[in-house]
Amino acid sequence: MRTSKTLTVAAVTAAAITAGGLLTVSALASPAHPAAPKQNFPSYSVKVILKGANLRHKNSKTGKNEALSLPDDITQYGGNLYTAFQNGVGPQGQAATDGNKDSTIVEFTPGGSVVGQWDVTGKVDGLTANPATGDVIATVNEDLHSSLYDVTPGGTVVHYQYNKALPHNGGTDAISFYKGQMMISASAPGTTGAAAPNAKYPAVYVVTLNSTTRVATVKPYFWDESSAHRANVHLGAGVKLALTDPDSNEVVPSVAPRFRNDFMLTSQGDEEQIYSANSGSLWVLKLPASVDDTAWATSWGGTLYATDNGAGTVNAVDSRLFWPGTAFVAVTPCDENGAPATCPGPGFPANYLGLLDMYNGQITKVELHGGTLHPQGMVFVDASS
């Protein structure tokens, strides 16, 4: 992660109405000009539940206690949440201005009470929990010199190195577990060597961990210039990807209105999302803006948790009613390709929370009550969790 409506009649046979009233459609049987059903979405409120300024870790250089800062990715497992504070570390693992080289992973309750924390060397950009084991996996250094950490449920931290120099000449970012496989975004392609896009650069890796050798073996899932189908313009027409910024990734939940249970990669600067049921089936949804994380409401009741990188906080977004399948996105205008060096600025506002129409790619800004939020990482936790 970088820091800083109606269906045509012909499509009805490919769609199904869920009990909640959402119109769903298979990625392989999409309508000619799809658009999501119009909804009157409920109001949302936001409040801060965790402040990095109130937490402490030891500076890796000076040994002095200092506040945590710059939270990014966020995940949940077993009733608790985890986020990573980057503490000023650079995207290649460069020391912060005060000499610190450690990010801090923090485990906390939904109410914001800290359960535990762990320092790891490098800038944590990707963070997720393995649903099969409860291990929390963190990738560090999204531009170069990347590696990953495994925090076991008992709190042991194991450091893994990749089995070879990453062939996309960049770093690694977001992590998802999809069909039993660990999927990691191949971020910042061409940091060294040939520039991106490049047909030889993987966009996503399937990663296998060897706990004995502490080696993480990578193999490509698809590539920066793989063939795909258009999902929102000239539906189904073939297109060649030209990815320059593979970033966040997710697994689409079964309640989503489209691409249910697919793996999804967001190419942040390129303003695209790529949905995939398998490595040979890619659908690209063009967006009107750059986005970072995507999180879907999976139940009528629950909470959307979001980090605010600049404010150094974790926030809870609540509503009296969440519509299952609603796709929330962290819109990041300053991470668009071509954004000005000084940002936010005219035409490039600060991050904001949006609602994504998965049929046509449109994004609607969410009006929040009770506070402000410039979201980065997000996760939805349903009421049963």
Say what the pLDDT of residue 56 is.
Answer: 98
What was the pLDDT predicted at 383?
A: 85
pLDDT at 384: 79
State the chain's mean pLDDT as an integer: 90
Residues whose CB is less than 8 angstroms from the CB of residue 7 and which lie 6 or more positions away in sequence, other chains included: 15, 23, 25, 31, 34, 35, 37
Q: Which residue, 126, 68, 118, is CA-closest to 98? A: 68
pLDDT at 237: 87
Instruction: Write out residues in the chain with pLDDT < 50, as ranges.
Output: 4-39
* Closest to 31 (Cα-Cα) out of 359, 280, 383: 359
- In this prediction, residue 40 carries a pLDDT of 55
- Tokens 């793989």 sit on residue: 226
pLDDT of residue 235: 79
CA atoms lying within 13 Å on the CB side of residue 103: 29
8 A C-beta contact, residue 291 and residue 331: yes
User: Residue 3: what pLDDT?
Assistant: 56
Separation between Cα atoms, residue 49 and residue 57, nearest integer Å: 19
Exposure string of 141-165, with b = 16+ CB inside 10 Å and e = fewer, is bbbbbbbbbbbeeeeeeeebebeee
- Among candidates 14, 71, 45, which has minimal Cα distance to 376? 71
Give the pLDDT score at 154: 84
The pTM of the full predicted model, rounded to 2 decimals, is 0.90
What pLDDT does residue 7 have? 28
Whether residue 70 contacts residue 379, with contact meaning beta carbons closer than 8 Å, is answered with: no
